């Protein structure tokens, strides 16, 4: 059994809730926050580039995913941001940057909303869920709740079948398979997803339409938003474009023909944009 680093973030009955993290390199810290239904391992195209550029790179697995504990509680953004805060405190980080992909952008937004910007140097949202994906009277650009309810029902019924279809749209496989992503990379993501907690897989779906508008208003550090214009999971007009407008002075980079998982398919564009922003 390989010994891995963990940080304790709570308890459920007799068991402790521990998050698995990895902490590599030296220099200014960059914390990478993964998307659904993956783990910290999904950053493999970014980690070596950041390490080569002289950063200290920290990844972690959200509760219920990867090698972290799989409790049946805490699947909401207040808890997720508290978990992130506990990791940052545990590692004694300061002058750090937060980079969130998809669901990971929610942790960043709520972190600023709940814990403020002390010690945070920069923020990066990639294909991220903020500001607010649910259609309401004051958010007509959002998605009908019935869509999310349908997804949650499908995950509960047979998450393995759901993930198979989900990843086709995650990578726009009908257009990019064999060009920018292999069937094996998609299979690896499916394996990662299948290893997640069944509870977490279902419980995270309603968190996708959390309202982050007030949280984004509290971001007062340089911010970069990267989003593909062909994102079928979190559409650019509903998410990235609006986040870039809501965060004062944010810079928006639109990846042409980019699917949801631009971190993999278009890493040749995402990585230079990320490095350029972190260095600036």
Q: What residues act catalytically?
A: 102, 231, 260
Q: How far apart are CA 201 and CA 38, in angstroms?
A: 10
For the chain, strand residue ranges (E) read 6-12, 15-24, 29-33, 56-60, 96-101, 120-126, 223-228, 251-255
In angstroms, the first-to-last Cα distance of the chain is 41
Q: How far apart are CA 209 and CA 145, in angstroms?
A: 9
Which residue blocks in 116-237 are alpha helix, DSSP H? Answer: 145-170, 173-176, 183-194, 198-203, 213-217
Q: How far apart are CA 167 and CA 239, in angstroms?
A: 19
Q: Which residues pair with 20 in a beta bridge?
A: 6
In the three-class reduction of DSSP (H, G, I as helix; E, B as strand; rest coil), residue 164 is classed as helix
Tokens of 63: 């509760």
Q: How far apart are CA 111 and CA 81, in angstroms?
A: 5
Q: Are 19 and 6 contacting, i.e. CB atoms less than 8 angstroms apart?
A: yes
Q: How far apart are CA 244 and CA 226, in angstroms?
A: 9
């Amino acid at each position: 059994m390989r010994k891995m680093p963990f940080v304790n973030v709570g308890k459920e009955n007799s068991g402790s809730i521990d998050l698995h993290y990895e902490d590599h390199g030296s220099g200014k810290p960059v914390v990478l926050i993964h998307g659904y239904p993956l783990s910290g391992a999904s950053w493999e195209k970014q980690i070596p580039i950041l390490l080569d550029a002289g950063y200290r790179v920290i990844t972690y697995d959200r509760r219920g995913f990867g090698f972290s504990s799989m409790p049946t509680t805490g699947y909401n953004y207040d808890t997720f941001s508290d978990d992130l805060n506990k990791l940052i405190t545990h590692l004694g980080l300061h002058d750090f940057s937060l980079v969130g992909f998809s669901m990971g952008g929610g942790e960043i937004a709520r972190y600023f909303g709940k814990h403020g910007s002390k010690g945070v140097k920069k923020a990066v949202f990639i294909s991220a869920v903020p500001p607010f994906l649910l259609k309401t009277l004051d958010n007509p650009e959002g998605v009908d709740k019935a869509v999310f309810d349908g997804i949650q029902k499908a995950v509960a019924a047979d998450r393995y079948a759901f993930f198979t279809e989900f990843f086709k749209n995650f990578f726009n496989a009908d257009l990019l398979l064999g060009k920018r992503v292999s069937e094996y990379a998609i299979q690896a993501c499916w394996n990662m997803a299948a290893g997640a907690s069944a509870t977490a897989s279902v419980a995270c779906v309603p968190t996708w339409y959390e309202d982050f508008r007030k949280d984004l208003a509290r971001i007062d550090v340089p911010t970069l938003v990267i989003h593909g214009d062909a994102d079928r999971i979190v559409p650019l007009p509903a998410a990235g474009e609006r986040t870039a407008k809501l965060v004062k002075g944010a810079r928006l980079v639109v990846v042409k023909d980019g699917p949801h998982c631009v971190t993999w398919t278009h890493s040749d564009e995402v990585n230079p944009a990320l490095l350029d922003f972190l260095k600036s």
